[in-house]
Structure 1
Amino acid sequence: MSILQEWPEPITRVQSLSDSGSPVIPDRYVKPLSERPSLSSGANPMNIPVIDLGGLVGHNAKFRALTLKKISLACREWGFFQVINHGVSLDLMHQALEVWRQFFHLPTYKKQVYANSPRTYEGYGSRLGVEKGAILDWNDYFFLNYLPMTLKDHSKWPSLPTSCREVIEAYSYELTKLSRSLMSVLSVNLGLGEGYLQNAFGGDDIGACLRATFYPKCPQPDLTLGLSSHSDPGGMTLLLPDDQVSGLQVLKGDSWITIKPTPNAFIINIGDQIQVCHISISMII
């Protein structure tokens, strides 16, 4: 059985299309009418819950129980929530956004050193999937592995800007700690031991990856999407958005709701694997 080693078509960087100044996007980025962005959803006053994780710290059982309840309700009603007082340095969060911003604004030939392939997707990319002639999303990205240690390869991480690898390492370490704390909360809310989900996902060998996504300015934003509608296949996604831009939408019932990012907060998305775990446990109960 042959394994696809390269992309089925030449790769065009979305940022180069944006920088070209063309008023028209290529046909391969034009979404079918039913999949185009819904601009009307931006006026919806709803927003995903914002939860203060400070209630999990200390010995106040009442506040801890209330925080657990808020997270449980957010998971059941939305599958998304935002967290503040999460323990991650605000300075580190800003550094992480800045080093990636600087990377994506480097000359293309410097970024091309890290060009990825369908073999692992690790590196600098501009498309997902290997279907020839597919309609593409309007973004460039960088994907890398952080855990398990056997997959971590610093040589595949950007060396520019010069602080990039150091910041990525520190940022990924802090988010791994936060993820473990949230996994513990979800385990308790499911009526399981605190370490259940952590162990179910591999314990000390749990997998963790990072994807930085860059959405260049688009001349026809009504025709395309930065990222097509999807659910995340893993256990949990921690998203650090640019809080100056509201672009992420989540499906609530039959409506797409534009998330309003809270400054210095992470957006938590409960992935497919934990959703399945919740459904299975609920059925057993």
Structure 2
Amino acid sequence: MSSNEAFTGNEEAPTYAPSIPVPNVQELMREDPSQVPQRYVRDLKDRPKDTDLSHLSSLIPLIDFSLLLLGNEEELNKLDLACQDWGFFQKNKYAMPSDDIQGYGHGYVVLEEQILDWEIIEEYSNVIRKFGTELMESFSLIMGMEKEALLGLHKQLIQVYRVNYYPPCSKPDQVLGVSPHSDSSTITILMQDDGVCGLQIKHDNEWVPVNPFPYALVVNVGDVIEMWSNGKYKSIEHRAVANDNRARISYASFLFPHDKVEIEPLNHMIDQKTEQQIYKKVKYGDYLRNSMKRKMEGKAHTQMAKVEATLETL
């Protein structure tokens, strides 16, 4: 985890919900790759269906990040529609030019015979953080605010970086790599294996595969954006499926606010005709911990932040 500034003074670093230890799936596969432990087998209704919707993957919007940086109106409109209709989009990633410090890859290579650094995770994470910060400026604009407004609402931008590894599975039709869920972040930036498809998003009640697009990153709207926008921009359910012949690795960066930030719909995002407010005010740290204490069940964890959830308890 990283942030704009370290926790200072008497402020303690936040703690999160504990997780019950379970057997390591990689080790289980090494011991006997032909067997799937019963604990991983899904009920029939939850198993991935043998339907090929890969043709819909090409409909997932592709946003040109370089145009967003320039404030291109057409590209901002594409971002606006992508966040309303899909909640997901793919963002062109770009390598570091030889005369610049933006992009990702090896920096400070000055000699042909120079020994290159193997460890680039920290560098990648730092650059993704920069991308995320710049992307939030575009979100600010489509949400009708000044460029710096959304980042300012975070008080302190927190980043969590996670590597997901999915080994081959002998019975991929009976398991899920990750259960359906939406992210409790502001935005999530994901890099997939170029040759292995596993991510699926729920669109029009169908599970659409997000086929890896060369030189692109996948970005999805998180619950925080959905709450700030009063539901205009959707935090979409997604899941990961397994396959029987290739391992898959994905690299996810989650960006979200400081624990103490209070999240609620922005006044100008509430429909002025109906004045209907979908979400109530919640402290982000409470929301995050509540989400982490639950098993993944689609968007069930968002109920604690919804206005109707308050009415039901009266």
Residues 41 and 200 (structure 1), Cα distance of their counterparts in 2 relative to 1, 3 Å cut: farther
Residues 272 and 5 (structure 1), Cα distance of their counterparts in 2 relative to 1, 3 Å cut: closer
Instruction: Work out the CA distance in 2 between the residues paired with 1:43 and 1:85.
Output: 22
* Greater mean alpha carbon deviation, residues 260-269 or residues 20-29: 20-29
> Match of 1:70, as an amino acid?
K
Partner secondary structure for residue 173 of structure 2: coil
Equivalence for 1:84: 92
* Greater mean alpha carbon deviation, residues 253-262 or residues 46-55: 46-55
Instruction: Work out the CA distance in 2 between the residues paired with 1:226 and 1:55.
Output: 34
Instruction: Work out the CA distance in 1 between the residues paired with 2:61 and 2:17.
Output: 43
Instruction: Work out the CA distance in 2 between the residues paired with 1:4 and 1:50.
Output: 34
Q: Deviations over 1:135-190 (max 9, x none)?
A: xxxxxxxxxxxxxxxxxxxxxxxxxxx944xx222111101110011101011101
Q: Any residues of structure 2 matched to 1:4-83 within 5 Å, and which?
A: 8=20, 11-47=22-58, 48-58=60-70, 64-83=72-91
Identity across aligned pairs (percent)? 31
- The answer as to whether partners of 2:95 and 2:105 remain within 8 angstroms in 1 is no
Q: Any residues of structure 2 matched to 1:201-216 within 5 Å, and which?
A: 201-202=154-155, 205-216=156-167
> Match of 1:178, as an amino acid?
F
Equivalence for 1:172: 125
> Match of 1:184, as an amino acid?
E
Residues 173 and 33 (structure 1), Cα distance of their counterparts in 2 relative to 1, 3 Å cut: same
Q: Deviations over 1:166-222 (max 9, x none)?
A: x222111101110011101011101011111111112xx211010100001111101
* TM superposition shift of 1:22: 3.9
Equivalence for 2:228: 277
* Greater mean alpha carbon deviation, residues 226-235 or residues 28-37: 28-37
* TM superposition shift of 1:45: 3.1
> Match of 2:78, as an amino acid?
K
Q: Any residues of structure 2 matched to 1:131-280 within 5 Å, and which?
A: 163-164=118-119, 167-202=120-155, 205-279=156-230, 280=265
Partner secondary structure for residue 172 of structure 1: helix
Residues 22 and 170 (structure 1), Cα distance of their counterparts in 2 relative to 1, 3 Å cut: closer
Equivalence for 1:111: none
Instruction: Work out the CA distance in 1 between the residues paired with 2:85 and 2:122.
Output: 34
Partner secondary structure for residue 266 of structure 1: strand
What TM-score do you get using the length of structure 1 for normalisation? 0.66
Instruction: Work out the CA distance in 1 between the residues paired with 2:65 and 2:16.
Output: 44
- The answer as to whether partners of 2:62 and 2:91 remain within 8 angstroms in 1 is yes
- The answer as to whether partners of 2:68 and 2:138 remain within 8 angstroms in 1 is no
Instruction: Work out the CA distance in 1 between the residues paired with 2:118 and 2:93.
Output: 26
Residues 22 and 54 (structure 1), Cα distance of their counterparts in 2 relative to 1, 3 Å cut: closer
Higher relative contact order (CA 8 A, sep 6+): 1
Instruction: Work out the CA distance in 1 between the residues paired with 2:182 and 2:16.
Output: 25
Structure 2: stretches of 5+ with no match in the other structure: 1-14, 97-102, 107-116, 231-264, 273-314
Instruction: Work out the CA distance in 2 between the residues paired with 1:190 and 1:4.
Output: 30
- The answer as to whether partners of 1:75 and 1:270 remain within 8 angstroms in 2 is yes
Instruction: Work out the CA distance in 2 between the residues paired with 1:248 and 1:271.
Output: 16
What TM-score do you get using the length of structure 2 for normalisation? 0.60
* TM superposition shift of 1:264: 1.5
> Match of 2:26, as an amino acid?
Q
Between the two proteins, the alignment pairs up a number of residues equal to 205
Equivalence for 1:102: none
Calculate the aligned-residue CA RMSD, in Å. Answer: 2.4
Instruction: Work out the CA distance in 1 between the residues paired with 2:53 and 2:31.
Output: 29
> Match of 1:49, as an amino acid?
P
- The answer as to whether partners of 1:51 and 1:83 remain within 8 angstroms in 2 is yes
Partner secondary structure for residue 144 of structure 2: coil
Structure 1: stretches of 5+ with no match in the other structure: 93-161
- The answer as to whether partners of 1:74 and 1:80 remain within 8 angstroms in 2 is yes
